[in-house]
Structure 1
Amino acid sequence: MPIATSSPAAPFQPPSTQGKPEIPEWDIPPATQADVEFAELHTIDLSLMDSEDPKVVDDLVQMVKKAIKEDGFLYVKNYGISVEQLHRQFAIAQYNHRNISEEDQERLLWHPETGVYSGYKRPYGWKREKQALDGIKHFNFYKPEFDDINRIPNCIHPFFDEITAFCNYMSKSVNRRLLTLLSRVLELDDDFIWRTAQSKEGPTGEGYFRHALFQPLASETKELSKGLRMHGHCDFGMLTLLFSVPVSSLQLWGNDEKWRYVKYEPGALVVNLGETLEILSGGHFKATRHRVFEPPEDQRTFERLSLVIFQSSIGDLMMQPAMESPLIQREGFVNYQGCFKEYKRFRDAGMPVPTNRQWREGQIKDGREVTDVVNNQVGKDRVEINGKLFSKREFFGMTVLLPV
């Protein structure tokens, strides 16, 4: 049976730019020419969901099923946004980082200790207080930012309708279609995950949109971090929607326990699965282990601009497997995953598990610095397993082990 669609998905129709200030186009860095090993990822054509041929749709579902079991990452093409429309969003993000005033940086400074990344991140660590230089700047848009234009930098006020429309389309069209595919993998009705788990209020629900800028790695930062820009981690939400960029810094942890760069595919959407979906699927969906590392030698003088939409589940959701799934009923759980395995251990022992909001806010509050040479060593925040380094952290009594 094909995926139920009343009509083909409509393409993105952005607001007009007429009458707005002119801004520079995105300065697109060149792709690396270095001889590096890239991760081999599956690419899906999202427009195939509109096919009237049931076999075409089923083949798409089977490809998604294979990809999420193998690595939890997908390239997605033909999702409804053109390269030109996407580059406009990069131009706005570039303009934001180049023109945000010092007054707005202070006025909108984030406060991660509250459990959200809302607002402006200085290039000095993952706390409100200034830490060692890490060279990473953000502006994070949550629902309060979308509801109140005074919570965003003044320089991008004229373009905020474009940002809002973009996030609405990505969340309510692209994300929803992807969740439909994942519902089909679980052999449930098309809207199951969207209806029961996905937060929906506002352009990003309880998730957020990020303008991220990675400045070239300073020598003093590299000495502290050994080239690491962001720790190996899994995202804690549903789906993370990011857009392929030329500067190769994103790395994927493969089944052979090696880090590999993710290759630049112009215009492609890069999707990774979060821990909420891993738990909901009983371990059949693989939460993506990834990190950000310094790029190949020929790209180390370039800035890396990144756009990311973090989709979240309903905050009060008690994260548990979808036992209605015929796939889970037939094949049981997949217990090799760290996050799901810990959740299952707690549930089997009759112990309470955190809600989605508690899980995500706990991780945000406990953000760790790549420049922290005191704790980034074995015996502190790291352990060595079979000759490989892993970070070890505890949330609500559950141990999280992730490759460094």
Structure 2
Amino acid sequence: MAPSAPFNPPAADLPNKPSVPEWVPPPVTQQKENFAQLKSIDLSLLDSDDPAIVDKLIQDVKVAIRDDGFLFLENYGVSLEQARQNEVATQLHRQFSLAQYLYNNISEADKERLLFSPEKGRHRGVPDGIEQFNWYKPDWEDSKRIPTCLQPFMDEIEAFCNYLTKSVNRRLLTLFSRVLELPDDYLWENVQSHGSPTGEGYFRHALFRPVEKSTEEASKGLRMHGHTDFGLTTLLFSVPISCLQIWGRDEKWYYIVSGGHFKATRHRVFKPPVDQLQSERLSLVLFNSSVGDMPMSPATDSPLIQREGCIEEQGIYKEYKKQMASGRPVPTNRQWREIQISTATDPTDTTHNRVGVHQVVIDGQIMHQREYLGMKVVLPV
């Protein structure tokens, strides 16, 4: 595999680009919370000429994705240093600055045109304080689907997403392929979707604003339900506001600074520590997607799976096994993600978010339970 090149974004100071105020990260919490201890993965080590270093990297990834499903990536190619002498912001902070610019400058006309109505809440109910704009495949192809204020910067945003998908994500998939003892490009060529800067996935600018007390009480502090993502990989950039939590092996929620062998991380968005309650949390996320028409099934070509089999207690695999054994067709990747997204409820929905409706008690724990396409999904609240 050829050594990876660092991100080289388009210039930010071209004449047609308005000035963008720099995003200033908010201070970290001073509260003593339960923070997850994540495995740090230096992605640049994949380029090492020393086979022992690469082998250790693969083993570290294997442990991390089986135990936590969450990797803390370092040295992945996007700089946190000023890449050019005249740059004000780092490469990564420039992208946060553009996201901040969107929420400060989107016009009322664009909100109406793009059905951008965050003040009414995602379900037109209790305001949830979450504003977000997603780039799906059609949005990359038609500038009219993009807020006008961001159009001068689309070269930077598109270059960023192309690099994340085709370099960072591809290197991750190389590591995962090696864990499965498959050829380096197996997952990239056979599972990853293509055809746009985000394939069949999407890129998100999200802003979590402080919520009213009535909203916090209705949701019991939840901003997003406990869930697993529905795609292939999710690239999320760490920010100082501590809202994201993962479900630990000891069945407790831990904050992070923001076939069963690969664990789908159970995570949720919760209210931040008390000293960050009035702070906004700006978020950049790229959701990489598998090929939508591909049926959900284990990678049976994998020598690892052939040798060890699938791990039934991981995630939804046991339900898939029942479905396959009964002769019923398993859903495609697209069906699986779309049914869950389309039927999601808001944390403030007290009609459904209660025991006997969408919640059950298992071993003393309140769990969220839904059935999708004949398969039961149980996740921590």
TM-score by length of 1: 0.90
1:366 aligns with 2:343: yes
Cα distance, 1:123 vs structure 2: 4.2
Which residue does 1:87 correspond to in 2? 93
Alpha carbons of structure 1 residues 261 and 368: separation in structure 2 relative to 1, 3 Å? same
1:248 aligns with 2:242: yes
Query: What is the percentage of aligned positions where both structures have the same residue?
Result: 60
CA contact (8 A) 1:126 1:367 kept: no
Q: Please give the secondary structure, in 2, of the residue aligned with 1:338.
A: coil
Cα distance, 1:337 vs structure 2: 2.1
Structure-1 separation of matches of 2:318 and 2:98: 41
AA in 2 matched with 1:137: E
Structure-2 separation of matches of 1:140 and 1:355: 22
Q: Please give the secondary structure, in 1, of the residue aligned with 2:199.
A: coil
1:169 aligns with 2:163: yes
Structure-2 separation of matches of 1:391 and 1:257: 14
CA contact (8 A) 2:263 2:315 kept: no
Alpha carbons of structure 1 residues 121 and 395: separation in structure 2 relative to 1, 3 Å? farther
Which residue does 2:364 correspond to in 1? 387
CA contact (8 A) 1:124 1:136 kept: no
Structure-2 separation of matches of 1:93 and 1:341: 40
Cα distance, 1:27 vs structure 2: 2.7
Structure-1 separation of matches of 2:172 and 2:108: 39
Q: Please give the secondary structure, in 1, of the residue aligned with 2:316.
A: helix
Which residue does 1:339 correspond to in 2? 316
Structure-1 separation of matches of 2:269 and 2:319: 25
CA contact (8 A) 1:235 1:288 kept: yes
Which residue does 1:279 correspond to in 2? none
CA contact (8 A) 1:234 1:288 kept: yes
Q: Please give the secondary structure, in 1, of the residue aligned with 2:203.
A: strand
CA contact (8 A) 2:207 2:281 kept: yes
Structure-2 separation of matches of 1:225 and 1:147: 37
Cα distance, 1:365 vs structure 2: 0.9
Which residue does 1:224 correspond to in 2? 218
Q: Please give the secondary structure, in 2, of the residue aligned with 1:376.
A: coil
Cα distance, 1:125 vs structure 2: 3.7
CA contact (8 A) 2:241 2:257 kept: no
Structure-1 separation of matches of 2:321 and 2:293: 19
Structure-1 separation of matches of 2:104 and 2:24: 12
AA in 1 matched with 2:113: R
Which residue does 1:13 correspond to in 2? 8
Q: Once superposed, which parts of structure 1, at least 4 consecutive aligned residues long, lie more than 6 Å away?
A: none
Structure-1 separation of matches of 2:353 and 2:341: 18
- Runs of 5+ consecutive residues of structure 2 not aligned to the other structure: 81-89
Structure-1 separation of matches of 2:106 and 2:221: 27
Which residue does 1:269 correspond to in 2? none
Aligned length: 370
AA in 2 matched with 1:98: N
Which residue does 1:47 correspond to in 2? 44
Render the CA deviation track for 1:55-90: whole Å, top value 9, x for unaligned.
000000000000011110000010000121000000
AA in 1 matched with 2:296: M
AA in 2 matched with 1:204: T
Residue correspondence of structure 1 range 282-301 to structure 2 within 5 A = 282-301=259-278
CA contact (8 A) 1:217 1:294 kept: no
Structure-1 separation of matches of 2:236 and 2:67: 19
Structure-2 separation of matches of 1:247 and 1:27: 12
- Runs of 5+ consecutive residues of structure 1 not aligned to the other structure: 110-119, 265-281
Structure-2 separation of matches of 1:339 and 1:93: 34
CA contact (8 A) 1:392 1:402 kept: yes
Structure-2 separation of matches of 1:57 and 1:217: 46
Render the CA deviation track for 1:263-304: whole Å, top value 9, x for unaligned.
25xxxxxxxxxxxxxxxxx21110000000000011111000
1:149 aligns with 2:147: no
Which residue does 2:118 correspond to in 1? 122
| Aligned alpha-carbon RMSD (Å) | 1.0
TM-score by length of 2: 0.95
1:188 aligns with 2:182: yes
CA contact (8 A) 2:260 2:315 kept: no
Structure-1 separation of matches of 2:375 and 2:108: 40
Q: Please give the secondary structure, in 2, of the residue aligned with 1:138.
A: strand
1:308 aligns with 2:302: no
AA in 1 matched with 2:9: P
Which residue does 1:401 correspond to in 2? 378
